[in-house]
């Protein structure tokens, strides 16, 4: 506190400021703090707060655990239907107002009066000359698994008579379904030439076929050259088609289809009608339909009009690759998968048949065969694999063959060598296993978008990107020398800086799970990598 005073001599004012350095408050001394620290009230308060903190901490931990355990999991993707569309031939005029409405289901109409329903995908309608066209929806089991072609009399023998049979195939279902993740098989050489409703002698019975069809999707490969000749009647096959539909067949591949023959042209429409009617009836009961595919060496000459009635036209371009193909040959085939044709069939690539030399003998060096296999198994196209190609089977049939497709009587590559697979140590077989498993499990592989880029005819890259799912990048160096590429700006804006190694060709020294930079990716000679990344 300050005071003002006046001197008696000269009446000057003097301000007494007092002790301005004195503190306004006084804290407790150390001795006093120690005295209060041991006071029962403060001791009790500290213990109470300590216990209360841990109670809250444990409660929050338990709450987090309960939320994680009891919160509903993300919905699983809907089961993939075997067929991309369910055609229903209508005999009478119809109105769109009469169509039933179902949540998540979109009805489509084609100019031929067929109806189809397909979850998940909205069908794009196009007007052409006043008629309505559709894009066949792709929501089927075709994406999840290769189609495995089996020569029945050469695959597995159940009774030691030296001839493979249906019972032998049943005995190998564990290998087919669990080891190589196959969900559909195509049987060739099954039907009798003179009577397509009969199974060839020594190959099994109808009961064997029904039993096999109850375990796995079975497609029958029908040779039209044997069943329907130029003078034959298409109706001769109608009875056989209906017969096998009742036996539980999952589809037909009409082999050696000749569009120049009237018998094949007229018959195709009749067979389609029979299959379509059965598919619709079966769809109502079992939520399944039947595949119809065409196979011809002149597949490129077939117009898209056939795809309005068939689900597939088998594509043999992969077989026609040169022995030492590079990225400039492979890139155009894969690039077709990025340009969807709204009236086209389901994309597919045939990787082997009994009419040509096997996969591993068709390409040199072996890394080319592996690169082709990796790209095809992870592409947006159904791979059609010939028995034995999954482990590098050699041709033992004794017939002269080349790289060119030529019609043969009873085509095959010899008996399946099961002894060769006993150790299960074949590197190519392990690679096929991993690729088939990856295709079956990953949504981006089954339904994702495709981007393909070529780097100076030496490096080929293909990205598979699905919204909300891990992306995959397949990169192959076709040169014998090491090289480096920048994938950040050349592939997609969704490519991040890094990715991890998922699979490699058998000649690669990369370790699984290692991280690589995409802005300067180093590739060894003849090396193929499958990289996983999180899209931006």
Q: What is the pLDDT along the chain (536 residues), one digit of tens a residue?
A: 556 665 565 556 666 655 555 555 667 787 777 777 778 888 899 899 999 999 999 999 999 999 988 887 766 555 544 444 443 333 333 333 333 333 333 333 333 333 333 333 333 333 333 333 333 333 356 678 999 999 999 999 999 898 999 999 999 999 999 999 999 999 999 998 888 899 999 999 999 999 999 999 999 999 887 777 545 555 567 888 999 999 999 999 999 888 888 888 888 888 888 888 887 666 545 556 788 899 987 887 777 778 888 888 999 999 999 999 999 999 999 988 876 544 468 889 999 999 999 998 899 888 999 999 999 999 999 999 999 999 888 888 888 887 788 777 788 888 998 877 755 456 889 999 999 999 999 989 988 889 999 988 799 999 999 888 999 999 999 999 999 999 987 888 889 999 999 999 999 999 999 999 999 999 999 999 999 999 98
Task: Give the chain's end-to-end CA distance (angstroms, integer).
Answer: 70
Q: For residues 87 and 363, what is the distance between their CA atoms, to the nearest angstrom?
A: 40
Which residues lie below 8 Å from residue 335, measured CB to CB, with a gap of 6+? 452
Distance CA 10, CA 6 (A): 8
Question: Can you name the residues that pair with 472 across neighbouring β-strands?
Answer: 464, 532
What DSSP assignment string belongs to 156-195? --SSSSSS--HHHHHHTHIIIIIIS---EEEEES-B-SS-
Strand pairing partners for 42?
none
Q: What span, in angstroms and rounded, lies between the C-alpha atoms of 289 and 250?
A: 7
Owner of token pair 């003097």: 14
Q: Tokens 């009608």 map to which residue?
A: 273
pTM of the model: 0.74
What's the CATH number for 449-533? Answer: 2.60.40.1180
- Give the tokens for residue 116: 């189809």
- Displacement of CA 29 from its chain's centroid (Å): 77
């Amino acid at each position: 506190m300050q005071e003002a005073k006046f001197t008696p001599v000269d009446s000057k004012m003097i301000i007494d400021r007092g002790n301005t350095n004195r503190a306004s408050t006084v804290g407790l001394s150390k001795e006093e703090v120690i005295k209060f620290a041991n006071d029962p009230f403060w001791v009790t308060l500290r213990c109470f707060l300590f216990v209360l903190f841990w109670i809250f901490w444990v409660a929050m931990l338990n709450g987090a655990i309960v939320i994680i355990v009891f919160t509903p999991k993300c919905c699983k993707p809907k089961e993939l239907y075997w067929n991309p569309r369910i055609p229903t031939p209508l005999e009478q005029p119809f109105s769109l107002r009469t169509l039933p409405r179902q949540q998540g289901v979109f009805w489509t109409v084609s100019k031929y009066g067929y109806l189809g329903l397909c979850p998940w995908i909205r069908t794009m309608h196009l007007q052409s000359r006043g008629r309505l066209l559709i894009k066949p929806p792709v929501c089927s089991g075709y994406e999840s698994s290769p189609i495995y072609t089996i020569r029945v009399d050469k695959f597995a023998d159940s009774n030691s008579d030296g001839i493979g049979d249906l019972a032998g195939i049943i005995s190998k279902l564990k290998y087919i379904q669990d080891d190589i993740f196959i969900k559909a098989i195509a049987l060739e050489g099954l039907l009798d030439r003179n009577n397509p409703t009969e199974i060839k002698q020594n190959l099994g019975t109808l009961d064997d076929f029904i039993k096999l069809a109850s375990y796995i999707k079975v497609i029958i490969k029908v040779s039209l050259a044997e069943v329907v000749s130029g003078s034959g009647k298409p109706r001769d096959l109608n009875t056989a088609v209906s017969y096998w539909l009742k036996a539980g067949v999952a589809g037909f591949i009409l082999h050696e289809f000749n569009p120049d023959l009237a018998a094949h042209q007229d018959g195709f429409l009749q067979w389609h009608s029979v299959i379509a009617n059965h598919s619709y009836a079966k769809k109502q009961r079992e939520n399944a339909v039947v595949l119809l595919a065409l196979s011809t060496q002149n597949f490129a000459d077939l117009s898209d009009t056939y795809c309005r009635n068939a689900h597939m036209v088998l594509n043999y371009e992969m077989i026609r690759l040169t022995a030492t193909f590079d990225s400039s040959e492979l890139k155009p085939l894969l690039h077709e998968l990025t340009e969807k044709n709204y009236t086209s069939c389901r994309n597919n690539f045939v990787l082997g048949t009994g009419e040509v030399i096997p996969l591993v003998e068709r390409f040199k060096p072996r890394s080319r065969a592996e690169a082709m296999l990796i790209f095809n198994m992870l592409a947006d196209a159904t791979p059609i694999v010939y028995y034995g190609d999954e482990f590098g089977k050699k041709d033992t049939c004794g017939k002269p063959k080349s790289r060119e497709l030529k019609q043969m009587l009873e085509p095959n590559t010899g008996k399946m060598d099961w002894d060769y697979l006993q150790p299960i140590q074949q590197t190519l077989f392990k690679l096929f296993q991993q690729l088939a498993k990856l295709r079956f499990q990953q949504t981006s592989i089954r339904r994702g978008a495709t981007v393909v880029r070529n780097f100076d005819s030496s490096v080929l890259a293909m990205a598979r990107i699905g919204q909300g799912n891990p992306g995959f990048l397949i990169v192959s160096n076709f040169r014998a020398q090491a090289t480096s590429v920048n994938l950040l700006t050349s592939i997609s804006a969704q490519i991040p800086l890094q990715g991890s190694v998922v699979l490699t060709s058998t000649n690669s020294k990369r370790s699984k799970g290692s991280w690589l930079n995409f802005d300067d990716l180093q590739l060894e000679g003849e090396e193929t990598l499958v990289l996983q990344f999180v899209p931006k």
